[in-house]
Each structure stands twice: as C-alpha cells, then as structure tokens.
Amino acid sequence: MATIAIMGTGAWGTTLARLIALEQVRIARGEGITDAATVPGVVLWEHQPERAHELQWKRENRDYLPGFPLPANLRVTADLADAVRGHSLILLVTPSQTVRENARALAPLVGPETIVVSGSKGIELGTHLLMTQVLAQELPRGTRVAALSGPNLAIEIARGMPAAAVVAARDHTTAEEARAALNTARFRIYTGDDVVGIELGGALKNIIALGVELPITAAIASVLFEGASIIETVSALMLREPKRELEGLGE
C-alpha cells in the first residue's frame, strides 16, 4: 500500500487526506487488521505550526471542513521534512499561486521514485504556466509528476457522495501508480496522458461554464424582451461548437 503525504489543509486537501485515510482503514479491516496502530496512515502538512497543532489536537478542520472529524490514522504536522520524507506519493493541494514556493521547499526532500501529484487548479500569474509545469521547473530533473482534476466539490466528497476524477501523467506507469494510491470505493480515479488538457479543464471550467450559462440566461430573459434571435445564435454557437470558441484562449 502506498504511503501518502498531502500538502495543504484547505477544504480540498483536508477532504482528500480524510478520504484516503478512511479508505486505508477500510482496506485494513478487510484484511483482518484490527490493531489501529498497524493501519497505514496519511500525513497532512500545514505550514503554520499553530494551526497544525490545532488540527492535530482538535481532530477537525473547523475553518474549511467543519463537522468531519479526522481519522485516527491521519496525522497533521508543520514539519515538511517529517511530512513527506520517505513517502511514495506526495499530493500538493495548496493555492495555485503558492505552488512554486512550496515545490521549491519540497525539492530537496523528494526521492527518486516519489510521485508528486498536483491537485491544485489554476495557472500561474506572470508565467502562465500550469501547475505541473511549475513543478517540473522546481523539482529535481526526472521527478515523476502527475495532475489530479475532476468535477469535484469537497463538501460532497466529504459527505461520501460518489465522485470521479482523472489523474494524468505523460508516463503511463506513473498515472497507474497514482490511480492505485488515490482510488477509493466512492472516489473513482481514471487515468490519462493529456496532462495539459486535464489541467486546463480544471483551471478554466468555471470560465467555460459562465460562457455557456450567460447566453442561456439571457435567452430566457429575451422571452420578455427583444433580441431573442441574436442571443439564441450566440447560445447555439457556444453549445454546438465550444472547441472553436475556446481555441483562442491560449493565444
């Protein structure tokens, strides 16, 4: 079973840490392991020592995920070396504009076989780089990097609602190993090799949704006001040929 560390204690990072820890408990019980001390654990890293102590002591992320207790096999620490060293997979779930800083701190601690998965969605300001591209610049050459993305809401997954996501890597073996480590009974992980597509989809999904929703909303309003034919045309173009409408985003 993979050993997993998660960087980032927001709603998404905490949800993933909790989900994976609970899955490891479920698997251990299925294998007849009843001693809690022998159940594989997950480490969650929080950069503020005071907050890390609060999470570890109170066993709940009251700021971002209230009402969902942390499993006993989930440990929180502010010591980055303690959190990630020796782990086979590191999941980076920090705000997108802090990924470079965190990756730089992580770089000397990454082992040659470690997989670093970006669960952060966004594009770096200034460089316009995707998160895996930032990781590739900051982590040691040859580090195995992947991206995790999907139509996911932290609160729904924390409640146990079924969900799915894609983990993408240029190397098929990396994607498969990451999938095996992150897949749970209610959070189904699929693999892919279109890393750019997966990351752009995660970064731009809300923009795309607004682009489709606004013309539709306007079209409904046009039943009462003039201009229905023009709005209907715009809506049809956005719905029927979204690829063409989005082709200029990267220019």
- Tell me whether residue 112 is exposed, middle or buried, using C-beta atoms within 10 angstroms of its C-beta: 0 to 12, 13 to 18, 19 or more: exposed
Query: Catalytic residue at 205?
Result: yes
- What is the location of CATH 3.40.50.720 in the chain? 4-193
Write down the pLDDT at residue 245.
44
pLDDT band at 222; cut points 50, 70, 90: low
- The pLDDT of residue 216 is 58
Which of 58, 121, 205, 243 is flagged as catalytic?
205
Amino acid at 190: Y
Across residues 37-41, what is the average pLDDT?
76
Instruction: Compute how many other C-beta atoms are within 10 angstroms of the C-beta atom of residue 34.
Output: 9
Confidence tier at 210 by pLDDT (50, 70, 90): low
User: Nearest-5° angle of CA 223, CA 228, CA 233?
Assistant: 140
Interaxial angle between packed helices 131-138 and 195-221, expressed in degrees from 0 to 180 and rounded to the nearest 10:
150
Selected residue with higher pLDDT from 246 and 37: 37
Percentage of the chain modeled with pLDDT above 70: 79
Confidence (pLDDT) at 138: 98
- Nearest CA to 84 among 58, 57, 105? 105
3-state secondary structure 162-176: CEEEEEECCCHHHHH
- Using pLDDT thresholds of 50, 70 and 90, give the confidence band for residue 246: very low
pLDDT > 90 fraction of the chain, expressed in percent and rounded: 69
pLDDT confidence of residue 120: 95
Contact 174, 181 (CB under 8 A): no
Could you list the beta-strand ranges (E) of the chain.
4-7, 42-45, 60-61, 65-69, 74-77, 89-92, 115-118, 144-149, 163-168, 187-192
Q: Which residue has the higher pLDDT, 37 or 136?
A: 136
Q: Looking at residue 226, what is its pLDDT?
A: 47
**What's the angle, vertex CA 47, arms to CA 175 and CA 117, rounded to 5?**
5
Q: State the average pLDDT for the chain.
A: 86
Looking at per-residue pLDDT, the higher value among 134 and 245 belongs to: 134
CATH of span 4-193: 3.40.50.720
Question: In the predicted model, is pLDDT for residue 86 greater than 70?
Answer: yes
Distance CA 117, CA 92 (A): 6
Helix (H) / strand (E) element for 37: namely none
Q: What pLDDT is stored for residue 221 in this prediction?
A: 55
Which of 36-45, 87-96, 143-152 comes out lowest in average pLDDT? 36-45
Q: Out of 75-84, 135-144, 207-216, which region has the weakest mean confidence (pLDDT)? A: 207-216
Q: What pLDDT is recorded for position 206? A: 62
* pLDDT computed for residue 178 by the predictor: 97
Give per-residue pLDDT as tens, 170-204.
999 999 999 999 999 999 999 999 999 999 988 88
